[in-house]
Structure 1
Amino acid sequence: MAEQPSPDFRDLFHRGQLTIGISELSRMTGVSPRQLRYWQKKGYIIPKNEDEPGRARIYTMKMVIKAAAMSNLLQTGYTLKAAAAQVDERMRPAQTMYRVLFGRYQGFEVADDGQLLVDLGTFDPDPTQELFAKLVNDQPKFILKAKNQ
């Protein structure tokens, strides 16, 4: 049976718990808090706690990356709208990969040879099998194992 990921691991990466405030975001990106609030008003960045009016804005790492990338594009001549669209398009593959991996990740187990096997859950075409991944010479290899009932 695969070890369950620690709650800290899942909470940090899956639920957006790595956050910073608007002042830190401003310092990191060189964008004024006033400008960041404008970006939020336009819907280009969204604070994690947007549904809590009156509370200090906090941003996930995804929004930090987006704001920094938008700031860089603005400095090269993009308009705000074009910069936001370009960043969204560039982030799509990473977001898809994140959702696939964290949606499937069930934990890990250590094989008899000491190698880590990442448990990716039930193999959809055959629910009696579980899908695992491991690294062989730094390359991912996939393994199907009979599901333990």
Structure 2
Amino acid sequence: MNPGMSSDLREIFHRGQLTIGISELSRMTGVSPRQLRYWQKKGYIIPKNEDEPGRARIYTLKMVIKAAAMSNLLQTGYTLKAAAAQVDERMRPAQTMYHVLFDRYQGFEVADDGQIIVDLGTFDPDPTQELYAMLVDERPKFILKPKK
């Protein structure tokens, strides 16, 4: 395994370390900072540091995606409330996949042949086994190995 890379990826993606400020979010989405603050007041977007009053707002990748998607829907005629609800519903499958992958991700190793093998941790139905995944012909293949 490559534990350094494992913890780096988990920290960046799972802990919400990829962040941007309100000005960058405004530029990326075409939504004014004033409008973004209104969306925040309504509870549609939430800055990562909302519990730190007086500090500049910073947004996670999840909120960037949500704000961009809401902006696109508003341009097609949705109301703000309907756009937020639609985006939340559309993001549910992606959030599930995100948690399945990043909550399970333990790291990876590179096999002698260069194949990347992803460690997905203990196999829940049988805690004596570890679950691994790899791509074979661009398709995922899962492997169980006895726990070390």
Deviation at 1:115, TM superposition (A): 1.6
- Cα shift at 1:5: 4.5
- CA distance in 2 between partners of 1:63 and 1:5 (Å): 27
Unaligned runs of 5+ in 1: none
Equivalent residue for 1:38? Answer: 38
Q: How many residues align?
A: 147
- When the two structures are superposed, what TM-score results if normalisation uses the length of structure 2? 0.95
In angstroms, what is the RMSD of aligned CA positions?
1.1
1:111 aligns to what?
A: 111
Post-superposition offset of 1:3: 2.5
Report the Cα offset of residue 61 of structure 1: 1.0
1:129, CA displacement in angstroms?
A: 0.3
Give the structure 1 partner of residue 50 of structure 2.
50
> In structure 2, what residue type is equivalent to 1:64?
V
> Percent identity among equivalent residues?
86
Question: Offset of 1:112 from its aligned partner?
Answer: 4.1
Superposed CA offset, 1:34-65 (max 9, x none)? 11001001100000000000000000111111
Residue pair 1:5, 1:106 contacting (<8 A) in 2 also:
no
Rounded Cα–Cα distance in structure 2 between residues aligned with 1:85 and 1:125: 36
Q: For each residue in 1:77-104, what CA deviation from the matched residue of structure 2 results, as whole angstroms up to 9, or x when unmatched?
A: 1010000000011111111000000000
Q: Structure 2 unaligned runs (5+)? A: none
Name which of structure 1's ranges 31-40 and 107-116 shifts more when overlaid on structure 2.
Answer: 107-116
